[in-house]
């Protein structure tokens, strides 16, 4: 039977390695920044995969978005459909890198609120594509994108406190969603029969 050791105070943002030695458990804490380059690279890949997986869920709903977007009455200032793919790819990459920077600095436990907000905004981001492109719910999509904007702003705030570069990487995302909110509202208003 294992004896329960008393756990020393370990700052947040550390990885815990548990090793069994005869009948006791020893804990060694290692700061994320002190992990090998390989382990940090694996962390980056995992963060990017999480973000790209969420993006893929939204992309399923957007499979015919190009044709649908072209069929809508759009404002004169609406960007061409081909622009969305490259912009979102860049933004998702920046979100993944920001997530990784926070993980490196504070781990999962040390930035729980920031990670939860980040996860919530990713889910909201994927949901918007379903609401607008798949289910054609213009009003609900507009309300939802406003919620997404708030979640992004709160994520930036929490990330900024931990790592300013991570917070800064999300600012273009917030600006793009601000523009997308205006575009979604205007497009919804111009297409009341299609986007109920």
Helices (H) and strands (E) in the chain, counts: 7, 2
* Predicted pLDDT at 109: 80
- pTM above threshold 0.85: no
Angle between helices 84-106 and 171-190 (to 10 degrees): 140
Domain residue limits at 16? 1-32
State whether 7 and 76 are in the same domain: no
Q: pLDDT tens for residues 129-169?
A: 999 999 999 999 999 999 999 999 999 999 999 999 999 99
For residue 12, the model assigns a pLDDT of 46
DSSP 82: G
- Asked if residue 45 and residue 9 are part of one domain, the reply reads no
Residue 46 CB partners (closer than 8 Å, separation 6+) = none
Structure tokens given for 192: 């009341």
* Residue 129 shares a structural domain with residue 102: yes
The rounded distance, in Å, linking the Cα atoms of 119 and 133 is: 22
pLDDT in tens, 11-47: 444 444 444 445 555 444 455 777 889 999 999 999 9
Give per-residue pLDDT as tens, 56-89. 999 999 988 889 999 999 999 999 999 999 999 9
Q: What is the pLDDT of residue 93?
A: 98
Give the residue among 106, 109, 100 at the shortest CA–CA distance from 50: 100
Structural domain includes residue 6: yes
Q: Does any domain span residue 196?
A: no
Tell me: do 9 and 67 sit in the same domain.
no
What pLDDT is attached to residue 185? 98
Q: With beta carbons less than 8 A apart as the criterion, state whether 195 and 184 touch.
A: no
- Same-domain check for residues 144 and 86: yes
- Cβ neighbours around 130 below 10 Å, total: 17
Could you give the number of structural domains in the chain?
2
């Amino acid at each position: 039977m294992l004896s329960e050791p008393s756990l020393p105070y370990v700052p947040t943002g550390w990885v815990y390695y548990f090793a069994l030695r005869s009948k006791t458990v020893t804990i060694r804490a290692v700061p994320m920044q002190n992990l090998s380059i390989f382990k940090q690279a694996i962390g980056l890949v995992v963060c990017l995969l999480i973000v790209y997986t969420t993006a893929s869920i939204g992309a399923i709903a957007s499979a015919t978005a190009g044709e649908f977007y072209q069929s809508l009455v759009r404002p004169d200032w609406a960007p061409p459909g081909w622009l969305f793919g490259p912009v979102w790819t860049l933004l998702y990459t920046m979100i993944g890198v920001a997530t990784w920077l926070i993980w490196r600095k504070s781990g999962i436990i040390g930035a729980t609120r920031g990670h939860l907000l980040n996860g919530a905004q990713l889910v909201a981001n994927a949901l918007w594509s379903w609401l607008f492109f798949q289910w054609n719910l213009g009003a609900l999509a507009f309300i939802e994108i406003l919620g997404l904007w708030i979640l992004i702003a709160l994520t930036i705030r929490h990330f900024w406190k931990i790592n300013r570069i991570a917070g800064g990487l999300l600012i273009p995302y917030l600006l793009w969603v601000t523009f997308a909110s205006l575009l979604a509202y205007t497009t919804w208003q111009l297409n009341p029969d299609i986007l109920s």
